[in-house]
Amino acid sequence: MRPILLKGHERPLTKLKYNREGDLLFTTARDKIVNVYYSHNGERLGTYMGHQGALWDVDVDPTSTLLVTGAADNTVKLWEVSTGRCLQTWEFNTAVKVSTFNEDADRLLVVTEARMGFQGTIHVYPFVIDLEAKQATEPILTITSPENKFTKAGFSYLSKYIIAGHADGSVSQYDGKTGELLKNVPVHDKEITDLQFAPDMTYFITTSKDKTARILDTKNLKIMKTYTADAPLNTGAITPKKDFIILGGGQDAKDVTTTTSRQGKFEARFYHKIFEDEIGRLKGHFGPLNHIVVHPAGTGFASGGEDGYVRVHHFDKSYYDFLYDVERMRPEN
Amino acid sequence: EDLAEESQASKELIAQRIRLLEEWRAWRKAVVAELEAERGGVVPLAQRGSEKEDEVIE
Q: What is the pLDDT of residues A266-289, one digit of tens each?
A: 999 999 999 999 999 999 999 999
Element (H, E) at B8: helix B2-39
Q: Do A20 and B44 touch (CB under 8 A)?
A: no
Among A104, A245, A321, which would you mutate to test the B interface (most chain B Cβ atoms within 10 Å of its Cβ)?
A104
Q: Do B17 and A104 touch (CB under 8 A)?
A: no
By percentage, how much of chain A surpasses pLDDT 70? Answer: 96
Alpha-carbon distance of A139 to A127, in angstroms, equals 10
User: How distant is the Cα of A275 from the closest Cα of chain B, in angstroms?
Assistant: 7
The pLDDT value recorded for residue A264 is 66
User: How distant is the Cα of B31 from the closest Cα of chain A, in angstroms?
Assistant: 7
The pLDDT value recorded for residue B30 is 97
Q: Do A326 and B44 touch (CB under 8 A)?
A: no
- CATH 3.40.50.300 fits domain A4-332: no
The pLDDT value recorded for residue B8 is 86
The pLDDT value recorded for residue A146 is 83
Could you tell me the pLDDT band of residue A103, with boundaries at 50, 70 and 90? very high
pLDDT higher than 60, residue A222 = yes
As a whole number, the mean pLDDT across chain A is 95
The pLDDT value recorded for residue B52 is 47
Q: Is A246 exposed, middle or buried (0-12, 13-18, 19+ CB in 10 A)?
A: buried
pLDDT tens sequence across B16-34: 999 999 999 999 999 999 9
Could you tell me the pLDDT band of residue B55, with boundaries at 50, 70 and 90? very low
Which pairs count as long-range contacts for B39-46, CB under 8 Å and 24+ apart, including other chains?
B39/A157, B39/A158, B44/A103, B44/A104, B44/A157, B44/A158, B45/A61, B45/A62, B45/A63, B45/A103, B45/A104, B45/A105, B46/A20, B46/A62, B46/A103, B46/A104, B46/A105
Complex confidence, ipTM: 0.91
User: How distant is the Cα of A331 from the closest Cα of chain B, in angstroms?
Assistant: 10
Q: Do A21 and B49 touch (CB under 8 A)?
A: yes
The pLDDT value recorded for residue A257 is 57
Closest CA to A279 of A312, A317, A323, A236: A323
pLDDT tens sequence across A72-97: 999 999 999 999 999 999 999 999 99
The pLDDT value recorded for residue A263 is 61
